[in-house]
């Protein structure tokens, strides 16, 4: 894996929409959760290569709203490092559970999150049909439902 550092977004950093929209193609939805979220950047040198967005849902529950890695650097462990960072921060801040939602079609993401100890907790039926104007296909499967996975901290 390339050497990376993970740090909070600083006030003079541009919001990395190119990365955020990789994980969530709706700019409207992204903007709706950025307002009260903590954003972290993964950097190699001075290049931003990944993003992580954490949003508290209750005093006990925090959600990874968005995680993305620059396409050319995917598959080298940066996504795993970002999720592990989220788990560490959430635990230190006293949350009891961390959750993450992804599509039924997001096979690689479901693999990654379960390997990191998340378990399927519920399904938001037809989430991607209701919230996105265009059909989304991944791995030859239509994204219809959101699978929510949770991990106790």
Q: Which residues bind ligand ACO (CB under 6 A)?
A: 22-23, 64, 66-69, 74-80, 100-102, 106-109, 111-112, 115
How far is it, in rounded angstroms, from Cα 4 to Cα 81?
Answer: 9
Write down the least CB distance from residue 60 to ligand ACO, Å: 19
Residue 2: φ, ψ to 5°: -65, 155
Least separation in angstroms between residue 45's CB and ligand ACO is 17
Name which of 78 and 153 has its Cβ closer to ligand ACO.
78
Distance CA 87, CA 97 (A): 9
Exposure pattern of 99-134 as b/e (b: 16+ CB <10 Å)? bbbbbbbbeebbebbeebebeeeeeeeebbeeebee
Distance of closest approach, residue 37 Cβ to ligand ACO, in angstroms: 12
Name which of 12 and 114 has its Cβ closer to ligand ACO: 114
Is 69 or 153 the residue whose CB approaches ligand ACO more closely?
69
Q: Between residues 50 and 153, which has the closer beta carbon with respect to ligand ACO?
A: 50
Residues 110, 144: Cα–Cα separation, whole Å: 15
Closest contact distance (angstroms) between CB of 130 and ligand ACO is 17
């Amino acid at each position: 894996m390339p050497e990376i550092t993970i740090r909070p977004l600083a006030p003079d950093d541009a919001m990395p929409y190119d990365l955020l929209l990789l994980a969530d193609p709706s700019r409207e939805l992204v903007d709706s959760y950025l307002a009260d979220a903590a954003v972290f950047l993964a950097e190699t040198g001075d290049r931003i290569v990944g993003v992580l967005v954490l949003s508290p849902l209750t005093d006990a529950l925090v959600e990874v709203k968005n995680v993305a890695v620059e396409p050319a650097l995917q598959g080298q462990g940066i996504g795993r490092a970002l999720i592990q960072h989220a788990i560490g921060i959430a635990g230190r801040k006293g949350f009891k559970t961390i959750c993450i939602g992804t599509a039924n079609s997001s096979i690689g993401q479901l693999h990654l999150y379960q390997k990191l100890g998340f378990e399927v907790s519920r399904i938001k039926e037809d989430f991607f049909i209701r919230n996105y104007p265009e059909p989304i296909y991944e791995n030859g499967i239509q994204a219809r439902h959101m699978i929510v996975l949770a991990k106790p901290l």
